[in-house]
Amino acid sequence: MRKLSLGRKIFSAVLTSALVLGLAGCGSSGGSESAPADTGSAPAAESTAAADSSAGEEEAAAESTAEPTTLTVMVYERGNTTETYGSATDNYWTRWIQSEFGDPNNITIEYIPVPRSEETQKINTLMASGTAPDIIFSYDSNMIIQYGKDGGLWELTDLISEYGPTIQENLAASLPYGQSEGEQWAIPALRAVTGWQTTYIRKDWLDEVGYELQTDENGYYHMSIDDFTELLRQFKDLDPSGQGGEMYPLGMIGAWNATQTRPIIWSFLETDNLTDEMHACYNERFWPGYKEGVRYLNQLYNEGLVDPEFMTDTDTSYTAFNNLLSNGRTLAFGHDAGSELTGVTALYEADPDAEVVPFYLDNVNGTQFNRIYSPTGMYIAIPSTCEHPENAIKYLDWLADYDNAKVLHYGFEGIHYEIQDNKVITITPTEEEQAASEYDFERITCGDLILVYNGAPYGYEDSTEGMEEVKAKTTQLKYDSAKVAEVGGQADYYFQGIQTEADQKYGGLVPDIEAELPRLIACDPAEFDAEYDAVLNEYLEQGGQEIIDEKIALYNELEAAK
């Protein structure tokens, strides 16, 4: 078995005891979680280091003359403690971090568990009591920025300038999103994949009827609105799956999630008339051309090309929608890009010859447009109770180094993976290795330890070589869909945690325009214009106009300050 050693400096008996006691004293869910019964091959590493503990301690002392300090770091508790892996706060990889970053800097790292499902509530409690860890994070950017404006966080500009050179270099795209009124309250993680939503189609069926999907200069599939419409109409009367069920060519998730059709609607946007100000300050229902995109869906619905039951489907488990996919009763559908598609997986298991591919519809007005995610993931901040904020920045700067992040994402090259043609090929562990904690990777790829990166920022894909066929096909589909979703991609203008007076005044009170989309899709075509305009007018009259006006003023102010 290939042994992984954490280095000669780590895991003397004294240090190990200190870590366990420190975690237990910080409320880390008890001693049993902090000290797993078995950590795989980590004990082998410990015994190796213990044999040279004296030399290791001397080496660590020589490397750092800094006063010993403790750095507390929030970590998600997902309830995935196992005998092999250990806990969220004490496992092979937290120990590796201690070895590689903590020991050389004379910093003891203590991980403080926060239940993922109770993140916001727990952070609020810790901040209110003054007991928050030195590093906290949340996807709720408004909450984090507000803590900064209220004096609960360290302002990070000077700290990053002095202690975060790698942060400045590698996170340059996301850093501005952690600012408010010129002050840096958070370090937003860099989102590796920005594709949001896309449209999918059964390519194997198109092949059967002789329709050839066109590709653009990047090899991505696309087609015109006219072709798409004609295909939907043709397949209404076909039974390509041979199962005899009624065909609904355009599959739609229940009314509770009808916005998955957005990529179709965006193909109608008058992009030349969509100003930056309008993009930033208006709900997309007001964008020029959006109404025509919704009218197009209304047309398809009233032609019987959409499952009429989507209007009454409130099952948030996607059951009815997935059944349409797996039973071969829909030609095309919209969905999140880069996600697992349960219905497609079931389809592939039932029909190995099936082929689903992502594609985009050509914008009818010429210029392609896709809304994409901003380049940010979670927002990382340092509470004002942190006594050594420079250590927190040093830690985050160390994580921002690609070499370190790569280890936490993939493991060690030559042991856990190889890279060929910019693809990551996982090295299949032996049965003995599989039982060892350092091979239990499923639990660390979510970014809980990586923090500063949301996904892998290296441009790598996982190779599908050697994967079981269905897994290979669904994995490739995830990668392809994320790329297609970025064609013509534009991230929304970000107001950097600043809430206007109108936002605060009308928050939760203005009508939810998004919720009205299903009704607009399903209404009588003769009533569409009146219904659509009524939705927008109601929003404007009940506070929406004030929100828009104040956002325009704020947008102009922020643009002038650039």
Checking if the pLDDT of 446 tops 80, the result is: no
Query: What integer pLDDT is reported at residue 426 of this predicted model?
Result: 85
**380, 368: one domain:** no
**403, 352: one domain:** no
In a domain, 425, yes or no: no
Nearest CA to 17 among 42, 34, 5, 29?
Answer: 34
In a domain, 527, yes or no: yes
In a domain, 33, yes or no: yes
In a domain, 152, yes or no: yes
In a domain, 49, yes or no: no
Distance CA 375, CA 177 (A): 9
In a domain, 321, yes or no: yes
Per residue in 73-100, pLDDT tens?
Answer: 999 988 766 666 778 898 888 999 999 9
**340, 388: one domain:** no
**158, 219: one domain:** no
**32, 100: one domain:** yes
**349, 396: one domain:** no
Q: Give 3-state DSSP helix, strand, coil % of the chain, rounded to 5.
A: 50, 15, 35
| Residue where one domain finishes, among candidates 410, 435, 463 | 410
**336, 381: one domain:** no
Per residue in 162-204, pLDDT tens?
Answer: 999 999 999 999 999 999 888 999 999 999 899 999 999 999 9
Checking if the pLDDT of 354 tops 80, the result is: yes
* More reliable by pLDDT, 533 or 2: 533
- Residue 180 φ/ψ region, left for φ over 0, alpha for ψ in the -120 to 50 degree band, beta for the rest: beta
In a domain, 23, yes or no: yes
**314, 276: one domain:** yes
**362, 224: one domain:** yes
In a domain, 459, yes or no: no
Look up the domain containing 105 and give its range: 13-43+60-193+376-410
- Residue 179 φ/ψ region, left for φ over 0, alpha for ψ in the -120 to 50 degree band, beta for the rest: beta
**294, 256: one domain:** yes
Backbone φ and ψ of 72, nearest 5°:
-100, 130
Per residue in 223-266, pLDDT tens?
Answer: 999 999 999 999 998 988 887 778 999 999 888 888 899 999 99
What's the number of domains the chain is made of?
Answer: 2
CATH number of residue 137's parent domain: 3.40.190.10
**114, 181: one domain:** yes
Task: Give bridge partners of residue 420 from the DSSP assignment.
Answer: 423
Distance CA 131, CA 125 (A): 9
**382, 523: one domain:** no
